[in-house]
């Protein structure tokens, strides 16, 4: 069974439907693809979600490969699933535009050895040295996304009778942009239509996916934007003959459209493709195979999603006026950011808390905790309302705050312990507005600090630091 994946940066499920309507219609109606409405990010930005999809692990669970860190290694040591496909006789391909934002290069050390049989990065790196390439979206008269689509098309045609694993990922059109993706709708539709018409999908798992939704900008600072960031598009289509030969897979994919799922689950599914009908529970990494039914009462903790990214939790607005705990939590968050850049204080200005724009208490969804199953006849959800919920000794805040002098907007999850002075950041901090070239003094060497660093060269004369 082949695996062909076409991906898009910063594209929520909703924005995929808005901007790629022709592709969505063909994928869901003609190919009868399954769109996972509960597909959830597992971390911040492209790298965290790509690593989860390809390895089955969180980045922190793998050897440290961050640029600018002592004793960091390269990504060659990561247990990426395309290596397993290659060992099983597959020809592999990985194509990703905008080399500067590469999932394994932007803040990681990248690869010493070419990671897949066909690898598009050298093409994009070479093009970036040409003056014609400076034009956004086009190289000469050719839209840049055409190159990635053509690379994928040519790869599939060249190896039409050989097992293959391919990822074609598009960044430029949708990274930081909500509307430009619509320019590719007809081209993506043409590609997958040609694959179907030529019979290439008769033995193929086709996946259309995104790493995450929009991470910054005006929409991200709204509740809708927060949800869309955390709920990227993911659709999977399998050959139609599987309805007859493997009806249980089709049945489970249909059920899983409405379940909480992640990139970890698709990673487990990829391993299942290679070992079906083997038991996927023995495969490495987090997650459950999408070829099996995902539990209806699955929680974010079950799915290895940190609370900061979980959309299944209840949030209760907090009055930020004269609230000591909120002020302390916000101050702790800014102090934490300053500690991260402390070693580079000669380059990065110290941040100050300018404003707390929103604060919420985050708590488990009571109905989810009390879910007791489904009525055997009606399949309606049953809840054990007498079930007590243990009182926790801490308060989890989600705080949106603004800092100076960088004009930064951040969303941070902070845990305040009620019986002590202990306070902790419970997940990576989200930068939800654009920082532009503000961290240019450290970005090449320490890209993981970019969202916190405001280079001193941008300080206004007379400003305090």
pLDDT of 371 strictly over 50: no
**Mean pLDDT of the 163-190 span:** 96
Structure confidence by residue, pLDDT tens digits, 228-239: 999 999 999 999
Average the pLDDT over each of 41-50, 130-139, 397-406 and give the range with the smallest value.
130-139
pLDDT at residue 380 in the model: 44
pLDDT of 283 strictly over 90: no
Structure confidence by residue, pLDDT tens digits, 397-410: 999 999 999 999 99
pLDDT of 386 strictly over 60: no
pLDDT of 241 strictly over 90: yes
**Mean pLDDT of the 73-87 span:** 98
pLDDT at residue 372 in the model: 45
Contact 403, 352 (CB under 8 A): yes
Name the residue with higher pLDDT: 226 or 420. Answer: 226
Cβ-proximal residues to 364 (8 Å cutoff; 6+ apart), any chain: 299, 313, 314, 389
The single residue listed with the structure tokens 């002592």 is 70
Domains located in the chain, CATH noted = 2-306 (3.40.720.10), 314-458 (3.10.450.10)
420 pLDDT band (50/70/90 cuts)?
Answer: confident
pLDDT at residue 321 in the model: 87
pLDDT at residue 381 in the model: 39
The percent of residues in the chain predicted with pLDDT above 90, rounded, is 80
Cβ-proximal residues to 390 (8 Å cutoff; 6+ apart), any chain: none
Average the pLDDT over each of 178-187, 369-378, 383-392 and give the range with the smallest value.
369-378
The percent of residues in the chain predicted with pLDDT above 70, rounded, is 93
Mapped onto helix, strand or coil, the DSSP state of residue 219 is helix
Pairing of strands 234-237, 204-210: antiparallel
pLDDT of 20 strictly over 60: yes
**Mean pLDDT of the 10-34 span:** 98
Average the pLDDT over each of 283-287, 334-338, 385-389 and give the range with the smallest value.
385-389
Tokens of residue 246, six digits: 């493997």
Q: How many CB atoms lie within 10 A of CB 96?
A: 24
pLDDT at residue 282 in the model: 81
**Mean pLDDT of the 12-20 span:** 98
Name the residue with higher pLDDT: 131 or 238. Answer: 238
Name the average pLDDT for the chain.
92
pLDDT at residue 277 in the model: 87
DSSP sequence for 361-422: EEE--HHHHTEEEE-TTT--EEE-TT---PPPSEEEEEEEEEEETTTEEEEEEEEEETTSS-
**Mean pLDDT of the 409-422 span:** 91
**Mean pLDDT of the 32-49 span:** 98
413-422 own/partner pairs: CB under 8 Å, 24+ apart = 413/306, 413/307, 413/308, 413/362, 414/329, 414/330, 414/332, 414/333, 416/325, 416/328, 416/329, 417/393, 418/393, 418/394, 419/393
Structure confidence by residue, pLDDT tens digits, 249-263: 999 999 999 999 999
pLDDT of 267 strictly over 70: yes
pLDDT of 3 strictly over 80: yes
463 pLDDT band (50/70/90 cuts)?
Answer: low
């Amino acid at each position: 069974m082949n695996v062909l994946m076409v991906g898009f940066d910063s594209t929520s499920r909703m924005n995929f439907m808005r901007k790629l309507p022709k592709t969505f219609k063909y994928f869901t109606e003609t190919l009868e693809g399954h769109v996972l409405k509960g597909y959830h990010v597992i971390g911040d930005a492209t790298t965290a979600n790509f690593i989860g999809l390809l390895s089955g692990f969180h980045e922190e669970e793998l050897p440290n490969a961050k640029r600018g860190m002592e004793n960091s290694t390269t990504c060659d040591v990561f247990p990426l699933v395309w290596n397993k496909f290659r060992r099983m006789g597959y020809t592999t391909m990985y194509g990703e535009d905008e080399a500067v934002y590469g999932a394994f290069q932007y803040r990681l050390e990248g690869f010493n050895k070419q990671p897949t049989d066909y690898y598009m990065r050298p093409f994009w790196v070479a093009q970036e040295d040409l003056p014609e390439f400076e034009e956004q979206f086009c190289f000469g008269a050719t839209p840049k996304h055409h190159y990635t689509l053509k690379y994928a098309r040519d790869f599939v045609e060249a190896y039409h009778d050989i097992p293959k694993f391919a990822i074609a990922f598009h960044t430029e059109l949708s990274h930081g942009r909500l509307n430009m993706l619509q320019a590719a709708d007809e081209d993506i539709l043409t590609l997958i239509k040609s694959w179907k018409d030529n019979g290439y999908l008769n033995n193929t798992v086709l996946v259309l996916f995104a790493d995450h939704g929009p991470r910054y900008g005006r929409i991200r600072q709204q509740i809708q934007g927060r949800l869309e960031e955390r709920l990227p598009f993911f659709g999977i289509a399998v050959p139609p003959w599987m309805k007859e030969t493997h009806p249980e897979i089709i049945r489970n994919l249909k059920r899983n459209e409405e379940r909480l799922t992640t990139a970890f689950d698709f990673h487990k599914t990829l391993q299942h493709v290679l070992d079906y009908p083997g038991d996927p529970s023995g495969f490495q990494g987090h997650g459950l195979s999408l070829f099996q039914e995902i539990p209806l009462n699955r929680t974010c903790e079950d799915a290895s999603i940190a609370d900061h990214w979980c959309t299944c939790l209840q949030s209760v607005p907090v009055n930020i006026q004269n609230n000591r705990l909120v002020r302390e939590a916000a101050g702790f968050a800014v102090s934490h950011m300053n500690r991260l850049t402390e070693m580079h204080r000669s380059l990065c200005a110290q941040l100050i808390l300018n404003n707390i724009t929103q604060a919420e208490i985050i708590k488990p969804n009571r109905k989810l905790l009390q879910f007791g199953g489904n009525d055997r006849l009606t399949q309606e959800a049953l809840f054990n309302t007498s079930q007590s919920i243990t009182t926790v000794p801490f308060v989890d805040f989600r705080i949106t705050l603004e800092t100076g002098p960088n004009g930064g907007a951040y969303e941070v999850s902070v845990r305040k312990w009620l019986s002590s002075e202990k306070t902790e950041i419970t997940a990576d901090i989200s930068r939800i507005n654009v920082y532009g070239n503000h961290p240019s003094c450290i970005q090449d060497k320490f890209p993981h600090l970019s969202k916190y660093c405001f280079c001193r060269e941008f300080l206004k004369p007379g400003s305090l630091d």
